[in-house]
Amino acid sequence: MAATLSEFHYGLVTPVAAYVMACVGSVLALRCTTRSLRRTGGERRWGWLALGATSLGCGIWTMHFIAMIGFTVNGRLMRYDAGLTVLSLLVAIAVVSVGVFLVGYRGSGPVTLGIAGTVTGLGVAAMHYLGMGALKLNGQVRYDTGVVLLSVVIAVVAATAALWAAVSISAVWATMGASLVMGAAVSVMHYTGMSAVSVHAAHGAVGGQSSADLLSFMLAMLAGPLILLLIAGVIVMFDPEVVMGRTEWDKPQASEAPEQAQGVGAFDWR
């Protein structure tokens, strides 16, 4: 028989918290990518791009995981396979890294952006459905193919827009606005994907766990990504570009050739 599903066991707490985390990951990723493009080369550029990719991957995965906390089948909270849950986090970071590094080193040309956005979007969708595969229940999970495809399209469009924003939007307030839109896009993709799900359980019997057990599992799974996001936030906040401000940062350095200083001023990465 078909089970009754709900995404909002805790009301608006989980979707709001999930959206906030998606926005946090997005804004950190945008600032890190912007910083990587500003007079940064070699290992420093690589480091900023890696930090941005990790922030975005952790933000997207954390959004998904927090949203899933409110998912119930026949009123029961779900159990999750820890191994698959961690694997979905690694997949999120890996695929986002591909997209971020592509646009970080090759720019936002149509071909590069299309490839990077498609790879990243498909990876985000794979992360979502891999996370769904971590569900432990005594029933069969089925998906509406049309809705699944729609969620994948949303993921690709959202990823492409995010990567474009990473190399095209530089002002702080514009970055904040872009992160709000990106967080909304990620959330829409998640709940679209969840609307494709149906569960069929014999005699209505499904697995489940208590709120206390789920809380313990949640804290264990979220600890690593949240620490990484905190570290990224501290690094971004204490970077000279932010601390010194635009005027000081834009002053030509004594060691720069006049033509180099003019070149930097011509491209307002911030």
User: Is residue 189, in this structure, part of any structural domain at all?
Assistant: yes
What DSSP assignment string belongs to the chain? -BPPEES-TTTTHHHHHHHHHHHHHHHHHHHHHHHHTSS--HHHHHHHHHHHHHHHHHHHHHHHHHHHHT-EETTEEPEE-HHHHHHHHHHHHHHHHHHHHHHHHH-S-HHHHHHHHHHHHHHHHHHHHHHHHTEE-SSEEEE-HHHHHHHHHHHHHHHHHHHHHHHH--SHHHHHHHHHHHHHHHHHHHHHHHHTEEEE-GGG----B-HHHHHHHHHHHHHHHHHHHHHHHHHHHTSHHHHHHHHHHHSPPTTS-HHHHHHHHHS---
Domain membership of residue 97 as a residue range: 5-238
Tell me the residue type at 154. I
- Say which range, 2-11, 88-97, 114-123, 220-229, has the weakest mean pLDDT: 2-11
User: Is residue 63, in this structure, part of any structural domain at all?
Assistant: yes
User: Is residue 18, in this structure, part of any structural domain at all?
Assistant: yes
- 203-250 per-position pLDDT tens digit: 655 666 777 787 788 888 999 999 999 999 999 888 766 444 444 344
Residue 265 has pLDDT above 50, yes or no: no
Total count of domains within the chain: 1
CA distances, 264 to each of 32, 196, 251 (Å): 18, 48, 10
Chain centre distance of CA 97: 11
Query: Higher-confidence residue: 75 or 152?
Result: 152
Tell me the residue type at 260. Q
User: Is residue 38, in this structure, part of any structural domain at all?
Assistant: yes
User: Is residue 255, in this structure, part of any structural domain at all?
Assistant: no
Residue 228 CB: number of other CB atoms within 10 A? 20
User: Is residue 61, in this structure, part of any structural domain at all?
Assistant: yes
The CA distance from 189 to 136, in Å, is 23
- 13-50 per-position pLDDT tens digit: 999 999 999 999 999 988 888 888 765 556 688 888 99
pLDDT score recorded for residue 5:
85
Query: Higher-confidence residue: 166 or 129?
Result: 129
User: Is residue 246, in this structure, part of any structural domain at all?
Assistant: no
Threshold 0.85, pTM exceeds: no
pLDDT score recorded for residue 153:
94
Q: Are 40 and 48 in contact (CB under 8 A)?
A: yes
User: Is residue 256, in this structure, part of any structural domain at all?
Assistant: no
The CA distance from 58 to 89, in Å, is 7
